[in-house]
Structure 1
Protein backbone atom coordinates (compact mmCIF):
# COMPACT_ATOMS: atom_id res chain seq x y z
CA UNK A 1 0.00 0.00 0.00
CA UNK A 2 1.33 3.43 -0.92
CA UNK A 3 1.83 6.21 1.61
CA UNK A 4 0.93 8.77 -1.05
CA UNK A 5 -2.48 10.42 -1.26
CA UNK A 6 -3.99 11.17 -4.64
CA UNK A 7 -1.96 14.38 -5.10
CA UNK A 8 1.35 12.50 -4.62
CA UNK A 9 2.47 14.35 -1.48
CA UNK A 10 3.65 11.92 1.24
CA UNK A 11 1.48 11.65 4.32
CA UNK A 12 2.93 13.33 7.39
CA UNK A 13 1.97 13.46 11.04
CA UNK A 14 2.73 17.05 12.04
CA UNK A 15 1.51 20.26 10.37
CA UNK A 16 5.12 21.43 10.05
CA UNK A 17 6.20 18.25 8.26
CA UNK A 18 3.19 18.55 5.94
CA UNK A 19 4.14 22.16 5.17
CA UNK A 20 7.76 21.21 4.43
CA UNK A 21 6.64 18.41 2.11
CA UNK A 22 4.15 20.72 0.40
CA UNK A 23 6.91 23.28 -0.26
CA UNK A 24 9.25 20.52 -1.46
CA UNK A 25 6.56 19.28 -3.84
CA UNK A 26 5.97 22.83 -5.11
CA UNK A 27 9.72 23.38 -5.67
CA UNK A 28 9.96 20.00 -7.40
CA UNK A 29 7.27 21.09 -9.85
CA UNK A 30 9.42 24.09 -10.80
CA UNK A 31 12.36 21.85 -11.72
CA UNK A 32 15.99 22.12 -10.75
CA UNK A 33 18.44 25.02 -11.01
CA UNK A 34 16.04 27.38 -9.26
CA UNK A 35 16.87 30.28 -6.94
CA UNK A 36 16.30 30.02 -3.22
CA UNK A 37 12.69 30.64 -2.18
CA UNK A 38 11.44 32.00 1.13
CA UNK A 39 8.02 31.25 2.61
CA UNK A 40 6.07 32.62 5.54
CA UNK A 41 4.11 29.93 7.38
CA UNK A 42 0.73 31.04 8.67
CA UNK A 43 -1.92 29.21 10.65
CA UNK A 44 -4.52 28.13 8.07
CA UNK A 45 -7.56 28.60 10.32
CA UNK A 46 -6.32 32.04 11.42
CA UNK A 47 -5.72 33.02 7.79
CA UNK A 48 -9.24 31.93 6.86
CA UNK A 49 -10.69 33.99 9.74
CA UNK A 50 -8.52 37.12 9.40
CA UNK A 51 -8.00 37.27 5.62
CA UNK A 52 -10.95 35.53 3.92
CA UNK A 53 -10.20 37.12 0.53
CA UNK A 54 -6.58 35.97 0.61
CA UNK A 55 -7.65 32.51 1.81
CA UNK A 56 -10.05 32.33 -1.13
CA UNK A 57 -7.33 33.41 -3.61
CA UNK A 58 -5.10 30.67 -2.17
CA UNK A 59 -7.88 28.12 -2.64
CA UNK A 60 -8.34 27.57 1.09
CA UNK A 61 -12.00 28.65 1.22
CA UNK A 62 -14.79 29.96 -0.94
CA UNK A 63 -16.44 28.52 -4.04
CA UNK A 64 -13.16 27.50 -5.70
CA UNK A 65 -11.78 25.69 -2.63
CA UNK A 66 -10.86 22.08 -3.23
CA UNK A 67 -12.55 20.07 -0.46
CA UNK A 68 -10.17 17.20 -1.18
CA UNK A 69 -7.01 19.32 -1.02
CA UNK A 70 -6.07 17.60 2.22
CA UNK A 71 -5.09 20.76 4.11
CA UNK A 72 -6.56 20.48 7.60
CA UNK A 73 -7.86 23.67 9.19
CA UNK A 74 -5.29 23.12 11.97
CA UNK A 75 -2.47 23.19 9.42
CA UNK A 76 0.03 25.69 8.16
CA UNK A 77 -0.21 27.54 4.88
CA UNK A 78 3.06 28.43 3.12
CA UNK A 79 2.98 31.88 1.51
CA UNK A 80 5.85 32.49 -0.90
CA UNK A 81 7.65 35.78 -0.36
CA UNK A 82 9.28 38.07 -2.89
CA UNK A 83 12.31 36.77 -4.72
CA UNK A 84 15.53 36.90 -2.73
CA UNK A 85 17.93 39.67 -3.79
CA UNK A 86 20.69 38.73 -6.24
CA UNK A 87 24.27 38.96 -5.06
CA UNK A 88 23.50 39.09 -1.34
CA UNK A 89 24.78 36.04 0.55
CA UNK A 90 21.95 34.00 2.06
CA UNK A 91 23.15 34.42 5.65
CA UNK A 92 23.30 38.20 5.25
CA UNK A 93 19.84 38.28 3.71
CA UNK A 94 18.34 36.19 6.53
CA UNK A 95 19.82 38.68 9.00
CA UNK A 96 17.63 41.41 7.51
CA UNK A 97 14.29 39.62 7.96
CA UNK A 98 11.69 40.50 10.58
CA UNK A 99 8.32 38.75 10.59
CA UNK A 100 4.98 40.20 11.70
CA UNK A 101 3.16 38.51 14.57
CA UNK A 102 0.71 36.78 12.19
CA UNK A 103 3.55 34.65 10.82
CA UNK A 104 3.79 31.38 12.76
CA UNK A 105 7.00 30.20 11.11
CA UNK A 106 9.08 30.39 7.96
CA UNK A 107 10.67 28.07 5.45
CA UNK A 108 13.39 28.25 2.85
CA UNK A 109 14.13 26.01 -0.07
CA UNK A 110 17.60 26.14 -1.57
CA UNK A 111 19.73 23.97 -3.86
CA UNK A 112 23.31 23.11 -3.04
CA UNK A 113 26.09 20.72 -3.97
CA UNK A 114 26.90 18.21 -1.26
CA UNK A 115 29.75 15.77 -0.75
CA UNK A 116 29.41 12.43 1.02
CA UNK A 117 31.10 12.04 4.43
CA UNK A 118 33.80 9.90 2.78
CA UNK A 119 35.04 12.99 0.89
CA UNK A 120 35.51 15.15 4.00
CA UNK A 121 39.13 14.11 4.48
CA UNK A 122 40.10 15.31 1.02
CA UNK A 123 38.63 18.82 1.27
CA UNK A 124 41.43 21.41 0.89
CA UNK A 125 41.70 23.77 3.84
CA UNK A 126 43.60 26.56 2.08
CA UNK A 127 40.85 27.65 -0.35
CA UNK A 128 38.66 30.72 -0.11
CA UNK A 129 34.88 30.30 -0.39
CA UNK A 130 34.76 30.75 -4.17
CA UNK A 131 37.64 28.34 -4.83
CA UNK A 132 36.13 25.78 -2.44
CA UNK A 133 32.78 25.97 -4.25
CA UNK A 134 34.58 25.38 -7.57
CA UNK A 135 36.46 22.42 -6.06
CA UNK A 136 33.20 20.86 -4.81
CA UNK A 137 31.55 21.44 -8.21
CA UNK A 138 34.32 19.41 -9.87
CA UNK A 139 34.38 16.61 -7.29
CA UNK A 140 33.30 13.26 -8.84
CA UNK A 141 31.21 12.30 -5.78
CA UNK A 142 29.22 15.56 -5.58
CA UNK A 143 25.45 15.36 -5.27
CA UNK A 144 22.93 18.05 -6.08
CA UNK A 145 20.41 18.42 -3.27
CA UNK A 146 17.36 20.57 -2.65
CA UNK A 147 16.93 21.43 1.02
CA UNK A 148 13.65 22.69 2.39
CA UNK A 149 13.95 23.83 5.99
CA UNK A 150 11.15 25.22 8.14
CA UNK A 151 10.98 26.54 11.69
CA UNK A 152 8.22 27.75 13.97
CA UNK A 153 8.42 30.58 16.50
CA UNK A 154 8.37 28.02 19.33
CA UNK A 155 11.60 26.42 18.04
CA UNK A 156 10.08 23.39 16.30
CA UNK A 157 11.94 22.61 13.09
CA UNK A 158 11.70 20.25 10.14
CA UNK A 159 13.60 19.69 6.92
CA UNK A 160 13.25 17.77 3.68
CA UNK A 161 16.14 16.74 1.44
CA UNK A 162 15.72 15.67 -2.17
CA UNK A 163 18.66 14.44 -4.25
CA UNK A 164 18.56 15.33 -7.91
CA UNK A 165 19.53 11.78 -8.86
CA UNK A 166 16.59 10.42 -6.83
CA UNK A 167 14.02 13.05 -7.75
CA UNK A 168 10.80 11.41 -6.54
CA UNK A 169 8.37 12.21 -3.72
CA UNK A 170 8.96 8.75 -2.27
CA UNK A 171 12.71 9.44 -2.01
CA UNK A 172 12.49 12.65 0.07
CA UNK A 173 14.25 12.39 3.42
CA UNK A 174 12.70 14.31 6.33
CA UNK A 175 13.90 15.04 9.83
CA UNK A 176 14.26 17.83 12.33
CA UNK A 177 18.07 17.86 12.45
CA UNK A 178 19.04 17.39 8.79
CA UNK A 179 20.20 20.98 8.20
CA UNK A 180 20.80 22.44 11.67
CA UNK A 181 22.75 25.52 10.57
CA UNK A 182 20.04 26.71 8.21
CA UNK A 183 17.34 25.94 10.80
CA UNK A 184 19.21 28.08 13.34
CA UNK A 185 19.54 30.93 10.83
CA UNK A 186 15.80 30.79 10.11
CA UNK A 187 14.98 30.68 13.84
CA UNK A 188 17.07 33.83 14.32
CA UNK A 189 14.68 35.71 12.00
CA UNK A 190 12.12 35.55 14.84
CA UNK A 191 14.41 36.84 17.59
CA UNK A 192 15.42 40.16 16.06
Structure 2
Protein backbone atom coordinates (compact mmCIF):
# COMPACT_ATOMS: atom_id res chain seq x y z
CA UNK A 1 0.00 0.00 0.00
CA UNK A 2 1.79 3.17 -1.11
CA UNK A 3 2.03 6.07 1.28
CA UNK A 4 -0.73 8.24 -0.12
CA UNK A 5 -0.96 10.52 2.88
CA UNK A 6 2.07 12.70 3.47
CA UNK A 7 3.63 13.19 6.87
CA UNK A 8 2.33 16.18 8.83
CA UNK A 9 3.30 19.44 7.21
CA UNK A 10 4.84 22.52 8.75
CA UNK A 11 1.41 24.11 9.13
CA UNK A 12 0.35 21.39 11.58
CA UNK A 13 0.98 21.66 15.28
CA UNK A 14 4.35 20.68 16.76
CA UNK A 15 2.54 17.98 18.76
CA UNK A 16 1.05 16.45 15.59
CA UNK A 17 4.41 16.44 13.82
CA UNK A 18 6.13 14.90 16.86
CA UNK A 19 3.47 12.20 17.15
CA UNK A 20 3.71 11.32 13.46
CA UNK A 21 7.49 11.04 13.80
CA UNK A 22 7.15 8.84 16.89
CA UNK A 23 4.57 6.52 15.29
CA UNK A 24 6.67 6.13 12.14
CA UNK A 25 9.75 5.40 14.28
CA UNK A 26 7.83 2.81 16.34
CA UNK A 27 6.42 1.14 13.22
CA UNK A 28 9.89 0.97 11.66
CA UNK A 29 11.38 -0.42 14.88
CA UNK A 30 8.71 -3.12 15.12
CA UNK A 31 9.08 -3.93 11.40
CA UNK A 32 12.76 -4.77 11.89
CA UNK A 33 11.66 -7.70 14.09
CA UNK A 34 9.58 -9.21 11.28
CA UNK A 35 6.01 -10.43 11.12
CA UNK A 36 3.88 -12.60 13.43
CA UNK A 37 4.71 -10.41 16.42
CA UNK A 38 2.65 -9.84 19.56
CA UNK A 39 0.87 -6.61 20.40
CA UNK A 40 3.31 -4.00 21.66
CA UNK A 41 2.39 -0.95 23.74
CA UNK A 42 4.46 2.23 24.16
CA UNK A 43 4.16 5.17 26.53
CA UNK A 44 5.01 8.46 24.82
CA UNK A 45 6.68 11.19 26.86
CA UNK A 46 8.13 14.55 25.96
CA UNK A 47 11.85 13.89 25.83
CA UNK A 48 12.97 17.13 27.50
CA UNK A 49 10.48 16.69 30.36
CA UNK A 50 11.78 13.16 30.90
CA UNK A 51 15.36 14.48 30.93
CA UNK A 52 14.40 17.19 33.43
CA UNK A 53 12.84 14.57 35.72
CA UNK A 54 15.61 12.00 35.24
CA UNK A 55 18.90 13.59 34.06
CA UNK A 56 20.66 10.18 33.92
CA UNK A 57 18.42 9.34 30.93
CA UNK A 58 20.72 11.51 28.79
CA UNK A 59 23.36 8.76 28.85
CA UNK A 60 20.90 6.40 27.12
CA UNK A 61 19.98 8.78 24.29
CA UNK A 62 21.91 9.59 21.14
CA UNK A 63 23.37 13.07 20.65
CA UNK A 64 20.88 13.57 17.79
CA UNK A 65 17.96 12.78 20.10
CA UNK A 66 19.27 15.13 22.78
CA UNK A 67 19.67 17.94 20.23
CA UNK A 68 16.16 17.32 18.85
CA UNK A 69 14.70 17.39 22.37
CA UNK A 70 16.32 20.76 23.04
CA UNK A 71 15.17 22.19 19.70
CA UNK A 72 11.59 20.84 19.73
CA UNK A 73 9.47 21.10 22.86
CA UNK A 74 7.23 18.27 21.62
CA UNK A 75 9.99 15.82 20.73
CA UNK A 76 8.72 12.44 22.00
CA UNK A 77 10.46 9.39 23.37
CA UNK A 78 8.67 6.05 23.22
CA UNK A 79 9.00 3.64 26.13
CA UNK A 80 7.94 0.08 25.40
CA UNK A 81 5.81 -1.40 28.15
CA UNK A 82 6.88 -4.85 29.24
CA UNK A 83 4.98 -7.28 31.42
CA UNK A 84 1.56 -6.31 30.09
CA UNK A 85 -1.36 -8.10 31.72
CA UNK A 86 -2.72 -11.17 29.95
CA UNK A 87 -5.81 -10.38 27.91
CA UNK A 88 -7.89 -12.41 25.45
CA UNK A 89 -7.76 -9.63 22.85
CA UNK A 90 -6.44 -6.14 22.14
CA UNK A 91 -9.67 -4.42 23.13
CA UNK A 92 -9.64 -6.06 26.58
CA UNK A 93 -5.96 -5.22 27.06
CA UNK A 94 -6.49 -1.55 26.22
CA UNK A 95 -9.61 -1.33 28.40
CA UNK A 96 -7.44 -2.35 31.36
CA UNK A 97 -4.70 0.25 30.80
CA UNK A 98 -4.41 3.73 32.25
CA UNK A 99 -1.54 6.19 32.31
CA UNK A 100 -0.22 8.71 34.85
CA UNK A 101 -0.30 12.40 33.96
CA UNK A 102 3.45 12.28 33.20
CA UNK A 103 2.68 10.22 30.08
CA UNK A 104 1.85 12.51 27.17
CA UNK A 105 0.49 9.80 24.89
CA UNK A 106 0.37 6.15 23.99
CA UNK A 107 1.03 4.04 20.93
CA UNK A 108 0.31 0.43 20.06
CA UNK A 109 1.31 -1.94 17.29
CA UNK A 110 -0.79 -4.93 16.32
CA UNK A 111 -1.10 -7.27 13.37
CA UNK A 112 -4.45 -8.04 11.80
CA UNK A 113 -5.87 -9.98 8.87
CA UNK A 114 -8.22 -8.00 6.65
CA UNK A 115 -10.46 -8.93 3.76
CA UNK A 116 -12.23 -6.92 1.09
CA UNK A 117 -15.81 -6.13 2.23
CA UNK A 118 -17.37 -8.55 -0.31
CA UNK A 119 -15.28 -11.44 1.02
CA UNK A 120 -15.89 -10.44 4.64
CA UNK A 121 -19.64 -10.71 4.07
CA UNK A 122 -19.17 -14.42 3.20
CA UNK A 123 -17.24 -15.27 6.39
CA UNK A 124 -18.87 -17.97 8.54
CA UNK A 125 -20.55 -16.60 11.67
CA UNK A 126 -19.34 -19.50 13.85
CA UNK A 127 -15.99 -18.37 15.36
CA UNK A 128 -14.60 -21.92 15.20
CA UNK A 129 -15.19 -21.95 11.44
CA UNK A 130 -14.39 -18.29 10.78
CA UNK A 131 -10.69 -18.30 11.71
CA UNK A 132 -9.64 -21.20 9.46
CA UNK A 133 -11.79 -19.76 6.65
CA UNK A 134 -10.18 -16.32 7.08
CA UNK A 135 -6.63 -17.68 7.18
CA UNK A 136 -7.19 -19.74 4.01
CA UNK A 137 -8.94 -16.98 2.02
CA UNK A 138 -6.95 -15.99 -1.11
CA UNK A 139 -7.86 -12.27 -0.78
CA UNK A 140 -6.71 -11.87 2.81
CA UNK A 141 -4.12 -9.24 3.64
CA UNK A 142 -1.86 -9.29 6.68
CA UNK A 143 -1.37 -5.77 8.03
CA UNK A 144 0.59 -4.20 10.86
CA UNK A 145 -1.05 -1.23 12.51
CA UNK A 146 0.88 1.37 14.48
CA UNK A 147 -1.41 3.91 16.13
CA UNK A 148 -0.61 6.74 18.51
CA UNK A 149 -2.60 9.38 20.39
CA UNK A 150 -1.62 12.31 22.58
CA UNK A 151 -3.53 13.73 25.53
CA UNK A 152 -3.75 17.06 23.72
CA UNK A 153 -5.77 15.36 20.95
CA UNK A 154 -3.34 14.60 18.11
CA UNK A 155 -3.54 11.18 16.46
CA UNK A 156 -1.42 9.35 13.89
CA UNK A 157 -1.62 5.91 12.26
CA UNK A 158 0.74 3.89 10.08
CA UNK A 159 -0.28 0.73 8.21
CA UNK A 160 2.09 -1.72 6.53
CA UNK A 161 0.96 -4.75 4.53
CA UNK A 162 2.94 -7.96 4.40
CA UNK A 163 2.46 -7.98 0.62
CA UNK A 164 4.21 -4.57 0.35
CA UNK A 165 6.67 -4.89 3.22
CA UNK A 166 8.81 -1.84 2.54
CA UNK A 167 9.42 1.38 4.49
CA UNK A 168 8.33 3.44 1.48
CA UNK A 169 5.03 1.54 1.23
CA UNK A 170 3.59 2.42 4.65
CA UNK A 171 0.22 4.17 4.51
CA UNK A 172 -0.28 6.87 7.11
CA UNK A 173 -2.65 9.53 8.34
CA UNK A 174 -4.36 10.87 11.44
CA UNK A 175 -7.50 8.71 11.30
CA UNK A 176 -6.67 5.58 9.31
CA UNK A 177 -7.75 3.25 12.15
CA UNK A 178 -10.52 5.18 13.98
CA UNK A 179 -11.61 2.34 16.27
CA UNK A 180 -8.11 1.84 17.61
CA UNK A 181 -7.63 5.61 17.96
CA UNK A 182 -10.77 5.73 20.14
CA UNK A 183 -9.64 2.78 22.27
CA UNK A 184 -6.24 4.38 22.85
CA UNK A 185 -7.81 7.74 23.73
CA UNK A 186 -9.86 5.99 26.42
CA UNK A 187 -6.63 4.79 28.12
CA UNK A 188 -5.62 8.42 28.63
CA UNK A 189 -8.91 9.53 30.20
1:6 maps to which residue?
A: none
What runs of 5+ residues in structure 2 fail to find an aligned partner? Answer: 1-5, 10-16
1:186 positional shift: 0.6
1:25 maps to which residue?
A: 28
Secondary structure at the aligned position of 2:159 is classed as strand
CA distance in 2, matches of 1:92, 1:11: 31
1:127 maps to which residue?
A: 126
CA distance in 2, matches of 1:112, 1:71: 33
2:38 maps to which residue?
A: 35
1:112 maps to which residue?
A: 112
- 1 or 2, which has the higher helix percentage? 2
CA distance in 2, matches of 1:115, 1:40: 31
CA distance in 1, matches of 2:35, 2:114: 15
Larger CA deviation: 83-92 vs 66-75: 66-75
1:11 positional shift: 6.7
CA distance in 1, matches of 2:130, 2:99: 33
2:178 maps to which residue?
A: 180
CA distance in 1, matches of 2:8, 2:58: 23
What runs of 5+ residues in structure 1 fail to find an aligned partner? Answer: 1-9, 60-64
- Alignment length (residue pairs): 174
CA distance in 1, matches of 2:110, 2:76: 20
Secondary structure at the aligned position of 2:63 is classed as coil
Relative distance call for 1:171 and 1:40 in structure 2 (3 A) is: same
1:104 positional shift: 0.3
Give yes or no for the alignment of 1:164 onto 2:138.
no
Secondary structure at the aligned position of 1:30 is classed as coil
